[in-house]
């Protein structure tokens, strides 16, 4: 497949992580990808996703790798490890202080989108761990701040089974466009709508199945 201008600019660290994840995600996980053509090759794009496993960002990024590099908002505690910090920075990930109104992270995310980037975000804020979580307003605030950004949801399933050796998981990432926004939709209403639509495709796994 001929690479787009967007994928041709993917940094070496990002490519290396995707290559390392390949055997786990594609072979062991038997990844199925649906709707990848909906992810635009260029331009500001927000990719909201459900969050059930620590593997979710890797699996979604791998599913999109031939189309776009997805920069993601990730909890800032991951940067405490020096080696992991170098990897995350090399991949263009954005640290966010969870549970707080992190304006620095929001500004960095807006800048990413304003420069035509593709940004992944979990509207629920953290892993579900068998719970139905309320949406947080972050994704709605980003959409309002960069109204030209397209929104393409990524519903991911099967990731909670990746570490359940010898049981092989069946990973699936479904990209889809959300329903049109109603008039005067607030940031939190947008986040709640996206979360509901994601969970309609990828329901919360039962408690005790998170990984």
- Look at residue 1 in the predicted model and tell me its pLDDT: 37
Q: Could you report the per-residue pLDDT of 65-109, keeping only the tens digit for each?
A: 999 999 998 889 989 999 999 999 999 999 988 766 678 899 999
Give the C-alpha separation, 128 to 33, whole Å: 22
pLDDT in tens, 136-180: 999 999 999 999 999 999 999 999 999 888 889 999 999 999 999
Binned at pLDDT 50, 70 and 90, residue 2 comes out as very low
On whether residue 64 sits in a domain, the answer given is: yes
> Considering the domain boundaries, does residue 146 fall inside one?
yes
- Is 206 domain-assigned? no
What's residue 20's pLDDT?
96
Task: Pick 101 or 40 by higher pLDDT.
Answer: 40
Bridge partners, residue 193, by sequence: none
Whether the Cβ atoms of residue 174 and residue 34 lie closer than 8 Å to each other: yes
**Is 90 exceeded by the pLDDT of residue 196?**
yes
3-state helix, strand, coil in the chain (%, to 5): 40, 15, 45
Q: Which domain holds residue 182?
A: 5-201
Q: Is the dihedral of CA 196, 198, 203, 206 positive or negative?
A: negative
Mean pLDDT estimate for the chain: 91
- Is 175 part of any domain? yes
- Residues 111 and 19: their CA atoms lie apart, in Å, by 28
Chain segment 107-140, per-residue pLDDT in tens: 999 999 999 999 999 999 899 999 999 999 999 9
Residue 207 has pLDDT above 80, yes or no: no
Does residue 210 lie in a domain region? no
What domain count does the chain have? Answer: 1
| Res 188 pLDDT > 90 | yes
pLDDT at 206: 83
Q: What is the pLDDT of residue 3?
A: 44
Across residues 1-13, what is the average pLDDT? 64
- pLDDT confidence of residue 101: 63
Q: How far is CA 159 from CA 2, 50, 89, 204, in A?
A: 29, 11, 24, 12
| Cα dist from 110 to 46, 105, 204, whole Å | 10, 9, 29
**Residue 211 belongs to a domain:** no
In this prediction the pTM is 0.92
Whether residue 207 lies inside any domain: the answer is: no
78 located within any domain = yes
């Amino acid at each position: 497949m001929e690479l787009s201008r967007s994928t041709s600019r993917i940094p070496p660290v990002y490519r290396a992580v995707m290559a390392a994840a390949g055997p786990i995600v594609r072979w062991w996980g038997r990844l199925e990808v649906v709707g990848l053509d909906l992810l635009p090759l260029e331009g500001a794009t927000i990719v909201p996703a459900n969050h059930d496993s620590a593997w979710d960002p890797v699996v979604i990024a791998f599913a999109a790798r031939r189309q776009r590099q997805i920069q993601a908002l990730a909890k800032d505690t991951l940067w405490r490890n020096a080696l992991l910090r170098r990897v995350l920075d090399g991949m263009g990930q954005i640290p966010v202080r969870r549970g707080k109104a992190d304006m620095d992270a929001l500004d960095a995310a807006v800048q990413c989108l304003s420069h035509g980037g593709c940004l992944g975000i979990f509207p629920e804020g953290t892993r579900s761990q068998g719970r139905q979580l309320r949406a947080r307003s972050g994704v709605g605030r980003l959409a309002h701040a960069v109204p030209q950004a397209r929104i393409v949801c990524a519903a991911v399933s099967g990731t909670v089974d990746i570490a359940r050796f010898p049981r092989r998981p069946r990973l699936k990432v479904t990209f889809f466009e959300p329903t049109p926004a109603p008039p005067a939709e607030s940031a939190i209403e947008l986040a709640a709508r996206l979360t509901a639509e994601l969970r309609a495709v990828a329901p919360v796994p039962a408690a005790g199945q998170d990984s």
